[in-house]
Amino acid sequence: MPAKALPVHARNPIRFPVAGGGTSKVARRQRPFVFSLFSGKDVEKGIPILQAMAAKPLLYGADWCKKTIAIQDYFKTHNVSYDYINVEKSDEAMQAIQDMNRGRVRFPMVVVGEQKPLKNPSPEELDAALAEAN
């Protein structure tokens, strides 16, 4: 009986940086969605961006979190269009939070364009990040 050939995704793994240095090898089919949020050069810096919406803020948080709600209110009062990701409903989002925080779970987190992720940002920090993005 001839040996069964491995599928292409198993023969052609992807290497990507992991927290703490080094790389991890993952087969293409097993690759989590969150890694598609990174551009090549920004993976090394650990800065997630949405390719299609580079200047649109991305808010990671939880529905019950008062600080997340305060940031959502800030965006609404300032007429800022943003994307919200509930970290409790997505394993990929939870992994992204951990990647941005050296393995710890901290939120809310706001990512604006290619800037450094903001951990529990104040209104002043949000003002500065939005001004820099525009």
Q: Kindly report the CATH number assigned to the domain that includes residue 53.
A: 3.40.30.10
* DSSP structural state of residue 15: E
d(CA 109, CA 92): 14
Give me the mean pLDDT over the 108-134 stretch.
89
Q: Which domain holds residue 104?
A: 46-133
Torsion of CA 60, 64, 66, 70, to 10 degrees: 50
| Per-residue pLDDT reduced to its tens digit, 66-116 | 999 999 999 999 999 999 999 999 888 888 888 888 888 888 999 998 888
**Would you tell me how many other CB atoms lie within 10 Å of the CB of residue 37?**
19
Domains in the chain, number = 1
d(CA 119, CA 122): 9
What does pTM read for this prediction? 0.58
47 — pLDDT class (breaks 50, 70, 90): very low
Looking at residue 32, its pLDDT comes to: 42
